[in-house]
Structures are given as C-alpha cells and as structure tokens.
Amino acid sequence: MARPDVTVMGAGIFGLSVAWACVQKGARVRVIDPAGPGAGCSGGLVGALSPHVPEAWNDLKAFQFDSLLMAQGFWAGVEAVSGITPGYARLGRLQPIADDKALALARARAETAREYWGDAALWEVIETPSEGWAPVSPTGWLIRDTLSARINPRRACASLAAALRARGAELVSEGTAEGKVVHATGVAGLLELTQALGCTVGGGVKGQAALLHFAAPDSPQIYADGLLVVPHADGTTGVGSTSERDYDDPFATDGKLEEVIERAMQVAPVLHGARVVARWAGLRPRARSRAPMLGEHPLHPGQYIANGGFKIGIGMAPRVGQVMADLVLDGIDAIPERLRPEASL
C-alpha cells in the first residue's frame, strides 16, 4: 500500500467503523491493532443495539437515534462487500413493567416517543402474550419498541475487517502511524489519558456474558432490570451482562455470570434447560461522562480520538464512523458537545 491517508490505532468496533467510513470517502487506510480485529469487548456475545428512553431529549440521544436508524443500511453495505453476515436484524425489544407507577411512565413515554422518534419507530405498551417468547411481567404489560436491533458482535467485526481488506485497506498487528491518526484504543487509551492528565478520564468496566443454545431467530430482544436476552440468527441467544468496577481478573468468568444465566431463565422461562455454549468476560471502555469521546485528541496535537463506547458502542458505530471521517478528512465538525473529549476531562 502507498502511504496511508489515515491510520487508525485500534481495531475494535469504533476503529473499524471509522476506517470503513474513511475508505468509503476514498481514503487509503491503515488499521493497526496488535491483537487483531474485534479482540477486545467488541468481540463479545450479546449484541443489543438499543435506544435510550424517549424523554429528556438531548444531543447524545439524538446522535444515538440517528445511528440506530443508519444501522440497517450501514451493515447491509458492509455485508455486500465482505460476503460475511453481521447478523443484523431490527426486531425490536420487549421490557416487562413492574408496577402501576412504571405502567403510567411507560404510557407517557409512548407520547414522547411520537414527538422525538416521529414515524421512524414505535414505543408502545402491550399486553403480555399468554405463551411463547416474552418476559415475565408482574403487571401483565410490556413495553415494546421497534427501534432496537440485534447483531452478532464477532461477525460484525469480521465483516467490517473483510470489507476493509476488500477495499484495499491494510489491517496489521504493527506498523507506522502515517497520515491523519485516529486513536480508537479502548481501555488502554482511557488509562493513558488518566495517567497523563492526573485525573480520572475513564477506564475499564468488566462485563461477563454467555451464549445459550436456544433458537428464536425472529424474536425481539428482552431487557429486564439491567439484563439483556438477545436471540441471534444462528440458533443461539446471548445473555448479559455484569457491570463490575472491582475485579481480580478482567478476563475470567465466575459466579457472577452464573447468576446472570439463572436470572435470564427467570426473566424468560422458555430458556429453562438451554445449554451454555460460550462464556465471555472482558473490559468495556467507559469514559467519565459515560458518553463516547470523539474529536481532537487531548494529548496528541493534530490527531484524533474515538473511544468510550462502553455499552452502546456497536449501536453508535455507524454515526461515529461518519462524523469522524467527516472531521478527519474534510474538517467538518458535527460532533455534539456531550460527545467531545472535554466532557470527560
């Protein structure tokens, strides 16, 4: 490859998506990651692409909403080039409603969803089906939204990597950073900022998840009391995850994951008896603001940062790639204030 126009440091979902958006604009791109594509938390098991609640609207929620609407076209385009399905499907989400107060709030949010989401997606309250795929609900009512989608995280990273190679990008384990440089280095990048600036900018939060042998490929995901249950196209269902600030081994699964699996079977009784086919643990990059950090790099003048995807990184990736490519290649800055590095410094 000739000297790249852009070097992306890191091949997680943010790095790969930024690289893909730059390639789509005609740039020569090099991606450097010692561990390879999707080796960190981007290669997890659950794959829920879900919106924030449709109220108290702000620039972060609007940014995420735009990205979720972009996702279908984004992933279809990647798959068309790579030949690898990312397992994307916009099948919605079900949430149980705990009590009468929560029921009233859910109905109020149906009104604000019409205001903020327009005709693009639906948030509604429905009765719990008497059988089949549904969570247990104390009130007999569920929230159903049609904006949420699922994806297979590992296949998504593999699909992006293959599409990049097909378009002439370099994906290497080591190399020289040339041209415009984007740092998408996850937890290591946040810890570098924390150490250099002498304040807590961000770090890693451990998550544990599992994959069950249970086929419900056309069913919506379930979200109940912080727990996600996400059916995939390949006959498996992802469940997770923990959110651990304190841990001994960031990559070891333990009793906390067994509790997650048990809770999943209580939330969705149809899962009882499903065999666990994979367990996963890893660190998710969480910035102090809890929002992604996008823009000029605080430590490296003339370079850029895309970090802090935490729990919403894959859902945010299409829009993150777009705004970063616009900034890096064209000098167009459309990054909301809430997502700038200054919000976490």
* Residue 304's pLDDT band (cuts 50, 70, 90): very high
Instruction: Please list the residue range(s) of the chain that carry CATH number 3.30.9.10.
Output: 202-286
For the chain, the straight-line distance linking the first and the last C-alpha, in angstroms and rounded, comes to 37
Instruction: Please list the residue range(s) of the chain that carry CATH number 3.50.50.60.
Output: 6-87+149-198+288-344
Query: Could you report the per-residue pLDDT of 166-191, keeping only the tens digit for each?
Result: 999 999 999 999 999 999 999 999 99
Model pLDDT, residue 325: 98
Model pLDDT, residue 118: 97
Model pLDDT, residue 132: 86
Helices 153-166 and 59-82, axial angle in degrees (round to 10) = 60
Residue 223 in tokens: 């979200």
Give the homologous superfamily in CATH for domain 202-286: D-Amino Acid Oxidase, subunit A, domain 2 (3.30.9.10)
Average of per-residue pLDDT across 60-77: 97
Query: Could you report the per-residue pLDDT of 117-141, keeping only the tens digit for each?
Result: 999 999 999 999 988 899 999 999 9
Q: Which CATH class is domain 6-87+149-198+288-344?
A: alpha beta
Nearest CA to 121 out of 98, 143, 88, 152 is that of 143
Report the C-alpha gap between 174 and 223 in whole angstroms.
Answer: 40
Query: Could you report the per-residue pLDDT of 14-67, keeping only the tens digit for each?
Result: 999 999 999 999 999 999 999 999 999 999 999 999 999 999 999 999 999 999
Q: Which is more confidently placed, 207 or 132?
A: 207
% of the chain residues with pLDDT over 90: 97
Model pLDDT, residue 74: 98
Average of per-residue pLDDT across 304-331: 97
Residue 236 pLDDT more than 90?
yes
Model pLDDT, residue 305: 98
Residue 113 CA to its chain's centroid (Å): 22
Report the C-alpha gap between 260 and 326 in whole angstroms.
Answer: 40
pTM beyond 0.85, yes or no = yes
Residue 8 pLDDT more than 80?
yes
**Which letter does DSSP use for residue 55 in this model?**
S
